[in-house]
Every structure is written in C-alpha cells, then in structure tokens.
Amino acid sequence: MNIVLDNIGKSYKAGKREVLALSGVSLNVGSGEFVSIIGPSGCGKSTLFKIICGLANPDRGSVRINGSRDYRPGDVLSYMPQKDLLMPWRTVLDNVLLPVKIRGEDLKKGREDALGLFPLFGLEGFESSYPGELSGGMSQRAALLRTVLAGRELMLLDEPFGSLDAITRFNMQQWLQEIWLKLNRTVIFITHDVDEAIFLSDRIYVMSPRPGSLRDCLEVTIPRPRTSSAVIGNNFVKLKEKLIGLLADQLPPSDS
Amino acid sequence: MSGCKGALGGLAVFIAVWELAVLLAGIPKYLLPPPSDVLVYIVRDYQLIILHSAYTLAAAVSGLLLAVAAGLLLALAMDYWPSLESGLYPLLVVSQAVPIITLAPLIIMWLGYGLLPKVMVAGLICFFPLTVSVIGGMRASDRELSDLMRVMGASRWQVLWLARLPAAMPAFFSGLKISAAYSVMGAVIGEWLGSSSGLGVILLRFTHSYQTARVLAAVTAIVVMSLLLFGLSELVSRRVMPWHHRRQG
Ligand SMILES: Nc1ncnc2c1ncn2[C@@H]1O[C@H](COP(=O)(O)OP(=O)(O)OP(=O)(O)O)[C@@H](O)[C@H]1O
Ligand SMILES: [Mg+2]
C-alpha cells in the first residue's frame, strides 16, 4: 500500500468568486503508516479527502494509489467523513455492516466480525439500537467501526473525534491506537487537535490556511504503544511546542 | 394518549352542547336533529350502514393501495432516471389544477357503475400527495450519505434502495395518513355519481327525503372509517419505522 499525492490543486466556484481551496499539495504515505494532517478550519483538509475518494476532481495534480491513477476507491480505501452519516433506520449492527452489504459479501461472517469488535468499540449491548438512541461519541465510534469493518487497507479519517469531549476523546484516541496496532492498517487522519495529532501519528503534516498546502512536516518518534503518560513526557512536550509554533506562524486566512 | 383523552373530552362537550342547543332552541329535526336521534338511527340502521360501509371501504382501501403502489414505483423510477423526473414532475404538479371531482363523471362514463370507477377516483385522489411526499423525502435525503455509499462501491440502484427510499419513509407515511382520509372521500364522491351501493348512495338517498338524522348517521360512519384508516396508517408506520417513533419517544 502506497499513496502519492502530487501537486494537487483545487478551486471551488462560490457564486462569481473562485475560491482556491488547495494549491500544490504533495504527500507520500507508505504501508502501515499513521499520518496526520492538521490545519485551521476551512484550509481544505476535507476537500483533500474528497479528491482521494473520487468525490471531487482536482484541477491540477494527481493521486496515485499503488502506482495507479484510476483505482476504484471502494477497493482500496475506507472513508470516514466528518459527519457520522449513520442511517437512522438501520440498527447499529446493520449500519456498521453497510459496506459488507453493499459489496454483497458474506453477511454472516461480517456479522461475526462485527460482533467481535463491539466490545472494543464500547458499543456492546447497543447492537440492535438505532443511531438516534446513541450519544454523539457512540455514533462516532459506530462510524469508525463501520470504516474499520469495510476492511480496506487505507483508512481516511476526517476528524473522527471532532465532536467529543476531552475525556471521551482521549479514550477514543487510545482505542484507535490499539486498533491500528492490532489491525495493521494505513491511516490518514485529519484533526484540529495538536495533542491528538502527536499522540497518534508517525508523521504530522501542517496545512496552511487557504489555499491549503502541506508546508511543514513533523516526525513523531515516541515509541508505541503510547500511554497516557506519554502525553506529559519530555519528547511530547517538545513536539507540541514545535507544532504550535508552526501553526502560529501560518498567516491568518485573507478573505478580502 | 393524553391528547386522545383530551379529544374525546372535547367531542363529549361538543355533543352535549349540540343536544342542549337543539332542545332549547326548538330547531326543527329535519334541519338539525339532536345527536341522540342520530344515535337512534345508527343503532336501528346498523345492518344497512355496515353493508354499505363495507362497499365504500373496499373501494377506498383498494384505491389507496393502488395509489401507494403506483406512487412508490413512479417515485423510484423518477429518482432513478432524472430525465423522467424533469419531464414528468411538472406535469404531475399541473395535473393538480384539475379537480378530481370534475374528472369523476368521465371515469364513471368510461368504467361504468361497478366498484372499479370508485377505486379509480379514490386512487387518483391519493396518488398525488403520496407520490409528491415520497419524491420530496428522497430529494431531502442526505447527499453526503449517497456520496459515502458511492465511495463504498454502491451502485446507483443500491444508493436509491438502501439510502434514498428509506430516508423518504417518514415523508411517505405522513402522505399516507393524509391519503387514508382522502381515499374515503374519493370513494364517496365516486358513489355519488352513480352506484347502487356504498355510503355515498345512502347519503344521497336520505338527503333527498330530508331524513337528516339518517344522513348524519351515514356521515358518522364515514368519519369513523376515515379515522380507522388514519389510525391503521399510523400503526403500520410504527411497525415499519420503529426507529422514527422511538426517537420521538
Ligand atoms: N462543495 C463546495 N463548494 C464550494 N466551496 C467549497 C465546497 N467544499 C468546500 N468548499 C470551500 O473550500 C474550502 C475548504 O473546505 P474544506 O471542507 O476542505 O475545509 P476543512 O479544512 O475540512 O475545514 P474544517 O476543518 O472546518 O472541516 C472552504 O473555504 C470551503 O468554503
Ligand atoms: Mg473538514
């Protein structure tokens, strides 16, 4: 698994104006890596994912997955959008099985796999609940489980913990690290949160405000599995200082 | 349930006031009979009423089911083939400028005096609100969900069947509840224009002979039937959409 973004550019038409969302984005992610993209709101992070997923076409540049430009997204990646997008009319179990159902794969086996993961995702006992009965954090975990169960090697996670409180958020980050270590997937992870990025990533790209580009990159070498005490370790604090410095250096977005 | 109790209380007060007003003001019975008289006729004529109600109910329910099937199919087809939608949807809306009641005589002319023309009138009246509510529900369904499904590799048909149609179910069932009441009205209109049985027929017959209490007895049967179909739609909706009702608590 190998994904290469080469000089991606993308602009949107907003009425008469053209909004340049991305400009010259290049990125290289290898097998089994956990790479984060951090940047201010509106800098084009979600747009980048939409381009990788084939939901938006770049104006310039190319995306190659395993060397190929015309991959079928459904075969190589699973995408977790910013919203959980659970179907209110399907139970939690049926929701997480949606990718299995769509591909016409073995539902019985899928169900077994899913049920095996419910405890890990803190969803045990809610298999036959409806999304409307879940808390915000549980909905995000269900969406994450759906993404994991899609079983593709590359996972694109767009602020999966965006709407969580600090405590749940930290638990979820530990979960995600656990899952990632266990399942050996490649992850590209979008976040606003400095601690989250450092805690989870092998590498962090800092995206500049609109037009977004990946200017700086930070390697995180804190050994895994990282525990809650890693957050106050010397290494962590230094990286955090550096990352906050990089983010502060970014010019504020000019809308004029 | 408390709303149900409130409504029953309101109804009781309304009936009591009516009864007293008729008694005290001395209104002639052929103009406005007291509710007690209506009740007497409901009891006395119950066999007649049930017989004709069954006929009307058959027409109403068949019309409703026909409209449900046709409406769902058309909505699905229009969603799947956008060109069909852009061609047909305006026509569908414009068709509502033609009051069904003006078409009913034509339908009777074409289809005769049996059950079928009543089914058609009832069906035509239900068809529009049902189709439009399903289409509206599909249009309002979450675009991003469809996108996500496409990324998962779903076909257009799967997106329609697994996401857009279920998303339209709440809208469909509100359309169904309205249509359930309309369907009885449609059947009665069909019967007015020519029939040998049905509540519409006895309604006309009693009106012509100024048997006002018996007219109101037939009206009561129509109201009860509409409410029954309405309640049945609500029940089906609860069975089909437990998620919707559970969330509303
Ligand atoms: N479909 C669209 N049409 C027009 N403009 C769009 C569209 N999608 C995004 N944009 C614009 O592109 C820019 C980047 O949007 P994007 O959603 O990628 O930001 P983001 O970095 O994900 O922000 P956030 O962190 O708030 O989620 C924004 O200025 C947004 O207004
Ligand atoms: Mg975003």
CATH assignment of the domain containing B92 = 1.10.3720.10
- Mutation test of the interface with chain A: which of B144, B145, B146, B152, choosing the one with the most A Cβ atoms within 10 A? B152
pLDDT value of residue B125: 92
- B62 shares its domain with B110: yes
- B12 shares its domain with B49: no
Which candidate from A73, A83, A90 shows the least CB-CB separation from B144? A83
- If we measure between CA atoms, which residue out of B239, B244, B223 comes closest to residue B180? B223
Q: How many CB atoms lie within 10 A of CB A24?
A: 15
| Spatial CB neighbours of B31, under 8 Å, sequence gap ≥ 6 | B212
Which candidate from B148, B153, B247 shows the least CB-CB separation from A130? B247
Q: Residue range A161-171: average pLDDT?
A: 82
- B138 shares its domain with B237: yes
| B238 in contact with chain A, both atoms CB, cutoff 8 A | no
- B167 shares its domain with B75: yes
- If we measure between CA atoms, which residue out of A1, A8, A49, A6 comes closest to residue A191? A49
- B204 shares its domain with B173: yes
Q: Hey, are the CB atoms on A81 and B148 less than 8 Å from each other?
A: yes
Task: Look at A211 and A31; give whichever has higher pLDDT.
Answer: A31
Burial of B111 (C-beta count, 10 Å sphere; 0-12/13-18/19+): middle
pLDDT value of residue A256: 43
User: Residues near ligand 1 with C-beta < 6 Å?
Assistant: A 12, 14, 19, 21, 41-47, 82, 210
Answer for the pair B97, B42: CB distance below 8 angstroms, yes or no: no
Taking the mean position of all CA atoms in its chain, how far away is CA A179?
14
Q: Hey, are the CB atoms on B152 and A78 less than 8 Å from each other?
A: yes
Structure tokens at A71: 């991959």
How many domains, in total, are found in chain B? 2
Structure tokens at A146: 């759906």
Answer for the pair A156, A77: CB distance below 8 angstroms, yes or no: yes
CA distance B172 to B131: 8
Answer for the pair A191, A36: CB distance below 8 angstroms, yes or no: yes
| B239 in contact with chain A, both atoms CB, cutoff 8 A | no
Q: How far is the CA of A11 from the centre of ligand 1 (A)?
A: 10
Amino acid (one-letter) located at B63: G
Residue of B nearest to A143 (CA): B148
- If we measure between CA atoms, which residue out of B142, B206, B205 comes closest to residue B168? B142
Ligand 1 atom at shortest distance from the alpha carbon of A40:
25
Residue of B nearest to A89 (CA): B243
Residues A172-209: pLDDT tens digits? 898 889 889 988 899 999 998 999 999 999 999 999 88
Nearest 5°: phi and psi at B244? -70, -45
Residue of A nearest to B166 (CA): A89
Cis before residue A40, ω within 30 degrees of 0? no
Q: What is the CA radius of gyration of chain B?
A: 22
Residues B85-95: pLDDT tens digits? 999 989 988 88
| B247 in contact with chain A, both atoms CB, cutoff 8 A | yes
The domain of B74 spans: 34-248
- B72 shares its domain with B51: yes
Q: Specify the CATH class of A3-248 in words.
A: alpha beta
CA distance A99 to A42: 29
- B193 shares its domain with B243: yes
Ligand 1 atom at shortest distance from the alpha carbon of A82:
27
pLDDT value of residue A215: 84
- If we measure between CA atoms, which residue out of B27, B155, B7, B139 comes closest to residue B79? B139
- B25 shares its domain with B69: no
Report the run of H or E that residue A8 belongs to, with start and end: strand A2-14
Answer for the pair B174, B204: CB distance below 8 angstroms, yes or no: no
Q: Hey, are the CB atoms on B151 and A87 less than 8 Å from each other?
A: no
pLDDT value of residue A251: 57
Q: Residue range B131-159: average pLDDT?
A: 94
Q: Hey, are the CB atoms on B145 and A85 less than 8 Å from each other?
A: yes
Q: Can you give the pTM of this predicted structure?
A: 0.86
Which candidate from A85, A90, A133 shows the least CB-CB separation from B142? A85
| A69 in contact with chain B, both atoms CB, cutoff 8 A | no
Q: Which residues of A touch B152 (CB under 8 A)?
A: 74, 78, 98-99, 102-103, 150
pLDDT value of residue A163: 73
Q: Residue range A50-57: average pLDDT?
A: 95
- Sole residue written with tokens 């437990």: B242
Structure tokens at B213: 């209490």
Residues A104-142: pLDDT tens digits? 999 999 999 999 989 888 899 999 999 999 988 899 999
List beta partners, residue A29. A3
Q: Are strands A154-158 and A77-80 parallel, antiparallel or unpaired?
A: parallel
CA distance A177 to B122: 61
Most confident of A209-213, A235-239, B164-168: B164-168
- Mutation test of the interface with chain A: which of B138, B141, B144, B151, choosing the one with the most A Cβ atoms within 10 A? B151
Which candidate from B144, B153, B243 shows the least CB-CB separation from A88? B243
Q: Residue range B180-206: average pLDDT?
A: 92
Q: How many CB pairs under 8 A join A and B?
A: 65
Burial of A144 (C-beta count, 10 Å sphere; 0-12/13-18/19+): buried
The string over B150-164, giving b where at least 16 C-beta atoms fall within 10 Å of a residue's C-beta and e elsewhere, is bbbbbeeebbbebbb
Domain ranges of chain A: 3-248
CA distance B128 to B150: 31
- B73 shares its domain with B151: yes
How distant is the Cα of B247 from the closest Cα of chain A, in angstroms? Answer: 6
CA distance B116 to A158: 57
- B55 shares its domain with B139: yes
Tell me the pLDDT of chain B averaged across its residues. 92
Which candidate from B144, B158, B247 shows the least CB-CB separation from A102? B158
Q: Which residues of A touch B243 (CB under 8 A)?
A: 88-90, 130-132
- B27 shares its domain with B95: no
List beta partners, residue A219. A203
How distant is the Cα of B169 from the closest Cα of chain A, in angstroms? Answer: 9
- B17 shares its domain with B117: no
